Amino acid sequence: MRDPLPPRPALSLVIPIFNEEETIPELARRLEAFLATVGETWEVVFVDDGSKDRSLDLLRGLTAREHRFKLVGLARNFGHQIAITAGLDVADGDAVVVMDADLQDPPEVVTEMLARFREGYDVVFAIRSKRHGETVFKRVTAGVFYRLFNMMLGFEVPNDAGDFRLMSRKVVLTLRSLRERHRFVRGMVAWIGFRQTRVSYERPVRFAGETKYPLSKMVRFAIDGITSFSTVPMRTATWLAGATASLAVVIAGWAMLQNLRGEPVVRGWTTIMMLVALCASAQLLMMGILGEYVGRIYDEVKRRPLYTVQERINLDEPSREMAEPTSRTGPH
Ligand code: UDP
Ligand code: MG
């Protein structure tokens, strides 16, 4: 049976948009200039993340004059990571690139990413070698965050990688099967695996308007990132239990020594201190045990696939979970 749908484009760009009316006209100009030279079939999927300004109208205008410009308009502001997900759910390209609307992720870097993709890589992260126009505070906090984050995980999320990255169709299809609610997409992509590589670029300043990531959203984002990939914070109770139990032993030892030296401590002090430390450690230990179970429940409810597969040889295509949600199938 012939596929009734039009052929898939070679390249999809996914661009989340939240109140970007000032940048959209320039973004469209830069995209068109770039895509005219890319030498591949393409589509651009704009995701309007519930903008309150004229962004949605501007995007509608763009899609009216160019059918390869596509639009998903979310019904309210769901946040950057969900907006990206909505775009990835419909992006059809053999290679899919996620980029910001504010031209901080220059389209020209995509050429380099495509070259890597053609060499056989499935994920190409764009690493910010320099961040222009970002406050020292943002740079330092981002640096500390990624280092901490990588320490807690069993796999590596590249430092200084944002959401600007290319993914092969295989990776996008796999990512679609991860439906957890608190989404830290860059971590999820690193978790998926496949052949991953990086290109670096200097991150320019935002073209116009203000960052849509105020400090409060950044903190939320960092917490989402850590809690969706690590149960280390929950385990701190167990470690603290160990620390307080050791404290009880130290106190007892010290009191005994004082007694032997003939400088006894106030009567009853040792007993009280030891009981306090022991009770605290018993409680913390129980919390840690609870934490372990809660952590396991959390892992289960995420319902992530147990593993991801890069290739299958002499085997049929896989289970339903890994397959595309739409009926369209084809080589990928
Ligand atoms: N964005 C979004 N929803 C939000 C916040 C941001 O879709 O709730 C989009 C925004 O329009 C931009 C991208 O996500 O295309 C990155 O946001 P921004 O440039 O403000 O982040 P920064 O570069 O300052 O980290
Ligand atoms: Mg930006």
* b/e per residue 176-194 (b: at least 16 CB within 10 A): bbbeeeebbbbbbbbbbbb
Rounded Cα gap, residues 196 and 72, in angstroms: 28
Ligand 1, closest atom to CA 83? 7
Neighbours of 318 (CB within 10 A): 11
Amino acid, res. 282: A
Do 153 and 218 belong together in one domain?
A: yes
Element (H, E) at 235: helix 232-260
Number of domains in the chain: 2
What is the whole-number distance in angstroms between the Cα of residue 81 and the centre of ligand 1? 9
Q: Choose one of 59, 82, 100, 203 to mutate for the ligand 1 pocket test, by most ligand atoms within 8 angstroms of C-beta.
A: 100
80 lines ligand 1 (CB under 6 A): yes
Q: What is the pLDDT of residue 331?
A: 44
Residue in 136, 72, 128 with CA at minimum distance from that of residue 105 = 128
Of the candidates 185, 174, 182, 181, the residue with the CA atom closest to the CA atom of residue 16 = 185
Which value, in Å, is the radius of gyration of the alpha carbons in the chain?
26
* pLDDT for the residue numbered 318: 59
- Within a domain: 331: no
Kindly state whether residue 328 falls inside one of the protein's structural domains: no
Q: Would the CB of 51 count as within 6 Å of ligand 1?
A: no
Which atom of ligand 1 is closest in space to residue 84's alpha carbon?
7
Q: Is 213 in the pocket of ligand 1 (CB under 6 A)?
A: yes
Nearest ligand 1 atom, CA 210:
20
- Domain residues for the domain of 244 are 232-302
Do 212 and 126 share a domain, yes or no?
Answer: yes
Q: Is the same domain home to 198 and 260?
A: no
User: Domain check: are 317 and 224 in the same one?
Assistant: yes
> Six-digit token pair at 54?
């004229």
Q: How far apart are CA 117 and CA 166, in angstroms?
A: 8
Residue 60 lies in a domain: yes
Contacts of residue 224, Cβ cutoff 8 Å, sequence gap at least 6 = 81, 182, 183, 184
CATH of the domain at 168: 3.90.550.10
Residue 151 CA to ligand 1 center (angstroms) comes to: 27
Tens of pLDDT along the chain (332 residues) come to: 555 777 899 999 999 999 999 999 999 999 999 999 999 999 999 999 999 999 999 999 999 999 999 999 999 999 999 999 999 999 999 999 999 999 999 999 999 999 999 999 999 999 888 777 778 888 888 888 888 888 877 778 887 788 999 999 999 999 999 998 888 898 899 999 999 999 999 888 888 888 888 888 888 888 888 888 888 888 888 999 999 999 889 988 988 898 889 887 788 888 888 889 889 999 999 999 998 899 889 888 888 888 887 777 778 765 554 544 444 444 44
Structure tokens at 210: 């203000």
How far is 183 from 164, CA to CA, in rounded Å? 16
In a domain, 34, yes or no: yes
Ligand 1 in reach of 211 Cβ (< 6 A): yes
